[in-house]
Amino acid sequence: MSKTISDIAVKTINGEDKQLKEYTGKVLLIVNVASYCGYTSQYEGLEKLNQKYGEAGLRILGFPCNDFGAQEPGSNEEIVQFCTSKYSKIVISH
């Protein structure tokens, strides 16, 4: 049987299980993020997209990753602090 994205479960940065089927009918933008990456400015663009299209159903799912040059070395709490101190509506999955 083929699986779809709706069959995938992820763990939020707060340790909660989340089924992607909860986003059925929404447009998902899934992004690999890192607080110390040279592209960290992408958060600003993601925030603007969220503000512009969030009401229309866009959901941006950011997944922190430390696998590329150790650019996300912080704990989950530090990542949340970084994001929420700079961006108002960031929801992070891990």
Catalytic (active site) residue 65: no
Per this entry, what is the length of the chain?
Answer: 94
- Could you count the other beta carbons within 10 Å of the beta carbon of residue 50? 19
User: Among 37, 65, 80, 91, which one carries the catalytic annotation?
Assistant: 37
In contact, 40 and 34? CB cutoff 8 Å: yes
The pair of three-digit structure tokens given for residue 66, joined into one six-digit string: 């430390």
Q: Which of 23, 19, 16, 71 is nearest to 82 (CA)?
A: 71
Could you give the residue numbers annotated as active site?
37
